[in-house]
């Protein structure tokens, strides 16, 4: 028996976190997707409230993410929008660096390699900027030169972007001023600085008062070596300073390349995710709070982690959506995973989260898989299929249990009780192996609400899993 529950509607219910004492990663499941990406770039625009994905190993496309769904954009003057000869393919760009300039409201990308099928990548020194509508090339005569696998991050206090390293590049630090349209090479400091590095991670961290840099590949010797160095750059003093964890703490991320890093204001911490060292890929997540690294331990009942599905390894992107107060991880891996993972702030509730397996897993799973953000009154079509050969009734409905849901001890699920049900709909059936469908409007009630299907199969009551939604 493989009873299946399908929710089909013109909305995506973005993930919701039920109040817990720590972080919960949630996977978003939009119907339309970019198809996967690695060595791409992604930033969030505070002005538009949207996030933007560009390029990668397989594409030159620009995609918009609104927290619920992907939309393929067609901006004019897209970077690398040239045609390769024999046959005429559109070229693609990978391995560039990107950051969001909050002062000017643009994503700035630098460098990368432009590639046509069957042709070795050609590294570039181009700067392109995206305002949410149009890509514009910025031409500055003198600069760092063509490079790939470098990183840069915007410093909102100094209102400049800090860039370091790259494949084959020296241990050089450059400052890009988007307002003045200038590059400045930071002179070497007698106090020292990071070693020549590529495939490191960089982000601005208010905790450290500057742009921080972690790990990467040291290419100063005859072979590359992954490391776990941690540095902070001050735009005021133009100096790099090593960040030292408080003495006596054993927990520290292993040496790695290709990790992603981002500051999470809601958690007031710096998050480091994934990466690799040699043939070892990491799907771990680390958090820096004040003076130490701590590995984030996800909840045991989070199905994403139970199934070994978490933000994926190397070459993913990790950004913070300050509109929805959540961190977003996308893509990564050798071939480019097509997964969106979200880490909400501790105090923020989202719109849909799957809860538990139901009484018997074979009786069905409810999935948060739609294609538009939810609103009260939107129709939600629900189907339960492959029903057993016993006449029974199936209840579809929404319930509200306030902000602290309770779970029946045996099922781990929320029971559709008539005393708390909203818009519950009971449908009988008499034929085995058939489907029952109904449509209910999402109710306009405060706080989390829950959807679940309950079946009474000849006195044997079973429950599907449930989903928690918040439309506020």
Quick: pLDDT tens for 33-78: 998 888 899 999 999 999 999 998 878 899 999 888 899 999 988 8
DSSP-derived secondary structure for 325-372: TEEEEE--TTTT---EEEEE-TT---SEEEE---SSGGG-------SS
Residue 26 has pLDDT above 90, yes or no: no
Cα 131 to Cα 51, 83, 135, 396: the distances in Å are 11, 24, 7, 44
Residue 266 has pLDDT above 90, yes or no: no
Q: Is the pLDDT reported for residue 294 higher than 50? A: yes
Q: Quote the CA–CA distance of 77 and 26 in Å, as a whole number.
A: 35
Query: How confident is the model at residue 303, as a pLDDT?
Result: 32
Residue 273, Cα to own-chain centre: how many angstroms? 10
Is the pLDDT assigned to residue 29 strictly greater than 90?
no
Confidence of residue 17 (pLDDT cuts 50, 70, 90): very low
pLDDT for the residue 182: 97
Give the chain's mean pLDDT.
76
pLDDT digits (tens, 9 = 90+) for 78-129: 886 555 665 555 678 889 999 999 999 999 999 998 887 777 788 999 999 9
Residue 139's Cβ-count burial label (10 Å; 0-12, 13-18, 19+) is exposed
Name the strand (E) or helix (H) holding 308.
none
The b/e string for 85-124 (b: 16+ C-beta within 10 A; e otherwise) is: eeeebebbbbbbbbbbbbeeebbbbbbbbbbbeeeebebb
For residue range 359-375, what is the model confidence (pLDDT) as tens digits?
444 444 445 554 556 66
Confidence of residue 229 (pLDDT cuts 50, 70, 90): very high
pTM of this structure: 0.78
Does 2.120.10.80 match the CATH number of domain 20-348? Answer: yes
Q: DSSP secondary-structure letter at 386?
A: S
pLDDT digit string (tens) for 414-424? 445 544 455 55
Q: Is the pLDDT of residue 192 over 60?
A: yes
Q: What is the DSSP letter of 15?
A: B
Q: How far is CA 375 from CA 288, 398, 442, 444, in A?
A: 36, 15, 7, 8
- What are the extents of the domains in the chain? 20-348, 353-469
pLDDT at residue 191 in the model: 86
* pLDDT of res. 261: 96
Give the list of residues 6+ apart from residue 190 with CB closer than 8 angstroms, or none: none
Question: Is cis: bond before 42, omega within 30 of 0?
Answer: no
* 20-348 and 353-469 agree in CATH topology: no
Quick one: pLDDT at residue 121?
Answer: 80
Q: Is the pLDDT of residue 342 over 90?
A: no
Residue 436 has pLDDT above 60, yes or no: yes
Query: Residue 394 above 70 pLDDT?
Result: no
Q: Does domain 353-469 have CATH number 2.60.40?
A: yes
Round to whole Å and give the CA distance between 137 and 130.
9
**Contact 215/227 with Cβ under 8 angstroms?**
yes
pLDDT value at residue 20:
34
């Amino acid at each position: 028996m493989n009873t299946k529950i399908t929710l089909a509607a013109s909305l995506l219910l973005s993930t919701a976190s039920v109040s817990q004492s720590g972080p919960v990663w949630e996977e978003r499941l939009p119907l339309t997707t970019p198809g996967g990406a690695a060595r791409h770039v992604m930033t969030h625009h505070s002005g538009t409230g949207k996030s933007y994905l560009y390029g990668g190993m397989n594409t030159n496309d620009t995609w918009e993410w609104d927290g619920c769904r992907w939309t393929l954009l067609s901006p004019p003057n897209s970077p690398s929008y040239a045609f390769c000869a024999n046959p005429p393919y559109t070229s693609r760009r990978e391995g560039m660096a990107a950051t969001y300039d909050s002062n000017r409201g643009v994503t700035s990308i630098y460098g990368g390699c432009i590639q046509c099928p069957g042709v070795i990548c050609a590294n570039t020194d181009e700067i392109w900027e995206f305002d949410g509508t149009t890509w514009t090339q910025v031409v500055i005569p003198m600069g760092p030169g063509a490079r790939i696998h470098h990183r840069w991050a915007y410093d909102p206090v100094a209102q400049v972007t800090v860039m370091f390293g790259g494949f084959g590049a020296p241990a050089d630090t450059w400052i890009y001023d988007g307002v003045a349209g200038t590059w400045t090479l930071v002179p070497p400091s007698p106090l020292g600085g990071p070693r020549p590095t590529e495939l490191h991670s960089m982000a601005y961290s208010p905790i450290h008062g500057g742009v921080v840099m972690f790990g990467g590949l040291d290419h100063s010797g005859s072979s590359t070596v992954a490391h776990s160095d941690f540095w902070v750059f001050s735009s005021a003093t133009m100096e790099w300073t090593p960040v030292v964890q408080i003495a006596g703490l054993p927990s520290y991320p292993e040496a790695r390349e290709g990790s992603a890093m981002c500051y999470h204001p809601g958690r007031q911490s710096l998050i480091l995710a994934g990466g690799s060292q040699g043939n070892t890929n990491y799907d771990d997540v680390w958090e820096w709070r004040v003076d130490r690294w701590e590995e984030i331990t996800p909840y045991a009942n989070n199905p994403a982690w139970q199934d070994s599905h978490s933000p994926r390894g190397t070459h993913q992107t990790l950004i913070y959506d300050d509109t929805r107060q959540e961190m977003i991880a996308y893509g990564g891996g050798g071939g480019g995973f097509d997964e969106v993972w979200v880490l909400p702030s501790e105090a923020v509730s989202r719109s849909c989260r799957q809860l538990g397996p139901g009484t018997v897993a074979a009786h069905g799973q409810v999935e948060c898989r739609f294609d538009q953000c939810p609103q009260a009154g939107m129709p939600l079509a629900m189907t339960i299929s492959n029903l057993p050969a016993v006449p029974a009734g199936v209840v579809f409905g929404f319930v509200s249990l306030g902000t602290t849901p309770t779970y029946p001890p045996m099922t781990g699920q929320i029971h559709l009780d008539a005393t708390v049900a909203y818009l519950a709909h009971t449908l009988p059936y008499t034929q085995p192996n058939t489907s029952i469908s109904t449509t209910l409007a999402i109710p306009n009630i405060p706080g989390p609400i829950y959807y679940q299907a309950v079946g009474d199969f000849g006195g044997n009551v079973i429950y599907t899993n449930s989903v928690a939604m918040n439309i506020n």
